[in-house]
Amino acid sequence: MCSGRVDLDFILEAFANGNDGVFVGGCRLDECNYTTHGNYDAYSVVEIAKRIMRHLGLDPGRLRIEFMSGSDGNLMAEVLDSFSSQVRELGPLGSSEGLDGEKLKRKLEAARKLVPYIRLVERERLRIPVKSKESYKAFFADPGTDRLFAELVADKLTLSEIMLLLNEKDLATGELAGLLELDASSVARQVGDASRAGLISYDEERKCYTLS
């Protein structure tokens, strides 16, 4: 399978299923057998996934992409051995990050629900026009890319998690802040935006938010 077929949801699903690490292998950049050069798309997907992982509190070292040819058997063995050792050092998913099973499951579910939106953002705002090693490396190393991700995706991830929590039960701002481990002002801004968008409503009598 071409590495260009690797979807963001594949990676998140693998972690949601309890895998401690995810490895993506593709052919060497600029040596793709197809005119689409899908390995650059895989490069982008993995970089975006790593930013999502950081936002969720997961170590991005649990995800790796490497590019090599079919004749690089020894190199592949070395890379996989190295990655396996790294994942073993990190331990079971969520353990070194201090995320219990329930919290981790909720965060990954929130991210997966947002995948269609993130795909659209990637096409419209995070797509690099020229498929070259230099342009991709420069784009994802640029602090401006992290700021753009924060602007377009990070808040949406938090809101997705808020919606999941409110789907379970009605909660006040302070309760949401505690569950999300965020300051109350950040949560208040999020629920305010969601309320204005008609996604949630505030129950004045019970002093809590509920899904609309």
pLDDT above 80: residue 2: yes
Region 53-71: mean pLDDT is: 94
Tokens 């201090």, residue? 98
φ, ψ for residue 211 (rounded to 5)?
-65, 140
CA-closest candidate to residue 155, choices 93, 95, 98, 197: 197
15's CB contacts (< 8 A; 6+ apart) are 22, 58, 62, 93, 108
Check if the beta carbon of residue 88 is closer than 8 Å to that of residue 82. no
Q: Which of 67, 63, 99, 61 is nearest to 3 (CA)?
A: 67
Distances (CA, A) of 17 to 22, 24, 50: 11, 17, 17
What pLDDT is recorded for position 70? 79
Question: Is the pLDDT assigned to residue 72 strictly greater than 90?
Answer: no
Per-residue model confidence as pLDDT tens digits over 123-175: 999 989 899 999 999 999 999 999 999 999 999 999 999 999 999 999 999 99
The candidate with the shortest Cα–Cα distance to 109, out of 15, 194, 181, is 15
Instruction: Quickly state the pLDDT bin for 64 (edges 50, 70, 90).
Output: very high
pLDDT band per the 50, 70, 90 thresholds, residue 189:
very high
**40-61 per-residue burial string, b: 16 or more CB within 10 A, e: under 16:** bbbbbbbbbbbbbbebbebbee
Three-state DSSP class for residue 170? coil
If you count them, how many residues does the chain have? 212
pLDDT of residue 34: 75
- pLDDT tens digits for range 93-124: 999 999 999 999 999 999 999 999 999 999 99
